[in-house]
Amino acid sequence: MTSRDVLQLAPLVLASLVPTILIIGNIFVSERAPFRVPIFATSLTAGLSGLAVLLQAIVSLLGYPAGESRIFRLVQLDVVSSAMLILVSTLAVVVVRYSQTYLAGERGLDRYARSLLMTIASVTILVISNHLVSLIAGWIATGVFLHQLLIFYRTRRQAIIVAHKKFLLGRVADLCFLGSLAVMSTEAGSLRIDALNSYADHLTGPLSPPLQLATVLLVLGVLLKTAQLPFHGWMLQVMEAPTPVSALLHAGVVNIGGFVMIRLSPLMAHATIAQDVLLGVGLVTALLGSLVMMTRMSIKLVLAWSTIAQMGFMLVQCGLGVWHLALLHLLAHSFYKAHCFLTSGNVVETWRGTSLVHPRKSILATLIAVSLMGTVAAGLWTASTRYSLHVSPPMRTLTLALVLSFVPMFGKAVAAGARAFIRAVVLTVGATIAYYVGHAAFENLIPEMHPGPALDLRWWIVLGGLVLLFLVQTVLQASPNGLLARLLQPYVHSGLYLDDWFTRVTFRLWPPLLERAAAVRPTTSARPTRQSRIF
């Protein structure tokens, strides 16, 4: 074997060592010092992940093809999987170290540490996989070990109920995945991801009906796994699990659906029906989730609804075919949400301080903000159409969404005074530059992602939904006791009662086992009360 062959295979070997070390570390977790091995294993695998990605970048810069062998054809380390591997490895180190302090003194920490290591190992297997069988197997294993983390407090009734709901949805999603794999293997002849994407690259039209069915089944499984409406209720109720588990779930595990769509982007670009499903469900989830956030006071519930809405918006980007923006959104949201959960206590203290000062609300200030941002948007639109700026047609449409997101901040700044207005201008300019630079960078870094047919109707539907959301939120904030607020409040606060409906139906078909939680719960009567029953 030549030095060139060694250099080509080295990144794949190092990437394969990451889940292997985590699985072996699971065996050596001790009851006396449960986090000693996980801290060492995650730190070591984080270093190996960084080295593997660095070597793969060197191989790509030298123009060498990826290393291949019978074993390492199952491993892939492209731009998407490299970014996700770094993300998961970094989060693993942070979550394990945070868990050591957060759960100090709790019982069963060895069981917690083992489940945590196996969850992270399963995610890394999924991330570096070049075969759909191992990818789906890793996804299923992630759900199984995450289930053990969700019921870490096994005597808590709510924890068991939530884990049961997620378990049911996970198994339905797994059936969808298995059906999709069966159809794909028959139609495309291979389940290797690079072979499927190469097969899709040579297509000149839409997929065949069997492959359309396979992609729709895959998308249905993704929707179930990413807590999209009406299967979102478990995401709101996993707060019974320890906070590090919530951080891992919201920052890493729930994003897997978007990652799988991005990895299969050449195939999904031809799956018009599946993309329409992604767009429709994702847009409704994003709009409703953003509205429900306004009615919540608990910081963790706000973060949960934020995750649901953000996952919806990421799937909308996949439905529109802007895969590089979906990857940028995935990475940014993961780090942001992990930080939010692990610092949620500080957020509560900050909110308590700011809630003592009530900002002045003014319709006139909002109108001024709309006029200012509208003028800026018009200028950007004119510049991008008349001059050769690096702004693609989809980004011109997303410019309006970016502008609308800054209007509430500018409305408060206009009402607060000159100093607040200057701060808002600086923040807006910085965020806008970062957004466009990130867009340009990811578009150049991921040239192999195919956007597919950019249908004007899809863009107009998304744009109309975002404008509608902006108008409703503006009216509700300006008039919290008005007619629209009184009409929407009962339905928005309850999430349109979708989770209640889902819970009643599923629990009648397959109720959870609550005997263990009820056995340690103090009761005054042997007869079950009305409050102790589940539906």
Q: DSSP per residue over 277-343, as a string?
A: HHHHHHHHHHHHHHHHHTT--SHHHHHHHHHHHHHHHHHHHHHHT-HHHHHHHHHHHHHHHHHHHHT
Burial of 144 (C-beta count, 10 Å sphere; 0-12/13-18/19+): middle
Indicate yes or no: pTM above 0.85.
no
pLDDT at 66: 56
User: Does residue 531 form part of some domain?
Assistant: no
Q: Does 320 lie in the same domain as 198?
A: yes
pLDDT at 117: 92
Q: Does 376 lie in the same domain as 341?
A: no
Q: Does 270 lie in the same domain as 162?
A: yes
The 3 state secondary structure assigned to 61-95 is HCCCCCCCCCCHHHECCCHHHHHHHHHHHHHHHHH
Domain residue limits at 421: 359-495
Within a 10 A sphere around the Cβ of 285, how many other Cβ atoms? Answer: 26
CA distances from 505 to 91, 171, 174, 423 (A): 36, 16, 20, 50
User: Does residue 524 form part of some domain?
Assistant: no
User: Does residue 174 form part of some domain?
Assistant: yes
Q: Which alpha helices (DSSP H) does 189-298 contain, by range?
A: 193-201, 209-225, 233-236, 243-248, 256-263, 265-268, 272-293
Q: Could you tell me which of 255, 251, 176 has the C-alpha nearest to residue 221?
A: 176
Residue pair 232/284 in contact by the 8 Å Cβ criterion: no
pLDDT at 60: 78
pLDDT at 44: 93
Give tens-digit pLDDT for 145-191: 888 888 887 777 777 777 778 888 888 898 999 998 988 888 877 88
Q: Does 285 lie in the same domain as 171?
A: yes
Overall number of domains in the chain: 3
Q: Could you tell me which of 222, 442, 241 has the C-alpha nearest to residue 332?
A: 442
Q: Does 167 lie in the same domain as 54?
A: no
End of a domain among 104, 129, 154? 129
User: Does residue 532 form part of some domain?
Assistant: no
User: Does residue 423 form part of some domain?
Assistant: yes
Residue pair 196/190 in contact by the 8 Å Cβ criterion: yes
Q: Does 233 lie in the same domain as 183?
A: yes
Q: Does 25 lie in the same domain as 1?
A: yes
Q: Does 196 lie in the same domain as 85?
A: no
Give tens-digit pLDDT for 370-399: 676 667 666 666 665 555 455 555 566 666
End of a domain among 86, 102, 129? 129
User: Does residue 281 form part of some domain?
Assistant: yes
End of a domain among 129, 151, 186? 129
User: Does residue 529 form part of some domain?
Assistant: no
User: Does residue 535 form part of some domain?
Assistant: no
pLDDT at 125: 92
Mean pLDDT per block of 10 residues along the chain (535 residues) reads 73 88 89 87 91 85 61 78 90 89 84 90 91 90 86 76 81 90 84 84 79 90 87 76 81 86 86 88 88 77 84 87 84 83 66 50 64 67 56 62 71 71 78 76 62 63 82 76 80 77 77 57 42 35
Q: Does 114 lie in the same domain as 87?
A: yes
Residue 251 DSSP symbol: I
pLDDT at 123: 92
